Amino acid sequence: MFSLDDPLIKRVGAVLKTVDMCDDSHIPKREGQRPATVLMPLVKRDEWKVLLTRRPMHMPTHPGQISFPGGRTEPGETPCEGALRETHEEVGVVASDVHLLGRLPSFNAVSEFRVTPFVGVLNPSAKIIPCASEVEETIEIPFGFFMNAQNHVSRKVEFEGAVHQLYDMPWPNTDKPTWHVWGMTAMMMYRLFQRMDT
């Protein structure tokens, strides 16, 4: 059962772009760039939480990194179809157990991908079965943690000739974090925070 009448979920949905891609903003803009999609899954437990994955240490890229389910969009797929397929492949959640609320604007990742992030609500009774080759474990962190500016640790990086302000989100605190959410995952959470905070 989805908690779509929840005030928080209504607020999240109100700040997102529509699920349907009515423009070409998700299409790669530079040579060699490939399209990718991710899903930011929200699930109601004792409180609203964000489902994340930890990549295995044997992965050739970003070993051990905390991330959302997602990956390369396959030829012939729409971005939302890609996000739902990757979610099923990585954590076992079937499309019928996901209600897509909308999406954040597509962006150029530091890697060769142009990424389109979707936000969706999971059925709390959905079976979560991590794919052992891609996911070491799944993690659920309170949504409210990411929406609190006190939990954002600023950091500057240079990308495409410009200096960018990023924010790391070590959970539950900076002194002894159990999980360190950073990079593209933290950036997407911060972009949602910005929209929620206005």
Residues 131-151: tens digit of each pLDDT = 999 999 999 999 999 999 999
- What amino acid occupies position 82? G
The burial class, CB within 10 Å (0-12 / 13-18 / 19+), for 51 is buried
Whether residue 122 is contained in a domain is answered as: yes
Under the phi-then-psi rule, with left for phi > 0, alpha for psi from -120 to 50, and beta for the rest, what region is 64? left
Q: What is the DSSP string of 149-164?
A: GGG-EEEEEEETTEEE
Alpha-carbon dihedral 82, 85, 88, 89, rounded to 10 degrees: -100
Whether residue 19 is contained in a domain is answered as: yes
Q: Whole-model pTM?
A: 0.93
Q: How many domains is the chain built from?
A: 1
Whether residue 2 is contained in a domain is answered as: no
Whether residue 159 is contained in a domain is answered as: yes
Whether residue 59 is contained in a domain is answered as: yes
Give the least confident one: 21-30, 75-84, 174-183: 21-30
Give the residue with greater pLDDT, 58 vs 125: 125
Whether residue 71 is contained in a domain is answered as: yes
Instruction: Look up the domain containing 191 and give its range.
Output: 7-197
Tokens of 43: 């699930």
The pLDDT, as a whole number, for residue 151 is: 96
Distance, in Å, from the CA atom of 30 to the CA atom of 98, rounded to the nearest integer, reads 32
The burial class, CB within 10 Å (0-12 / 13-18 / 19+), for 47 is exposed
Whether residue 1 is contained in a domain is answered as: no
The pLDDT, as a whole number, for residue 64 is: 82
Whether residue 52 is contained in a domain is answered as: yes
Distance, in Å, from the CA atom of 98 to the CA atom of 134, rounded to the nearest integer, reads 20
Tokens of 20: 């349907």
Task: Find the mean pLDDT for residues 170-196.
Answer: 94
CATH number at residue 182: 3.90.79.10
- What amino acid occupies position 198? T
Task: Find the mean pLDDT for residues 97-107.
Answer: 96
Element (H, E) at 36: strand 34-44
pLDDT band with cut points at 50, 70 and 90 for residue 1: low
Among positive and negative, which fits the CA dihedral 96, 72, 101, 170? positive
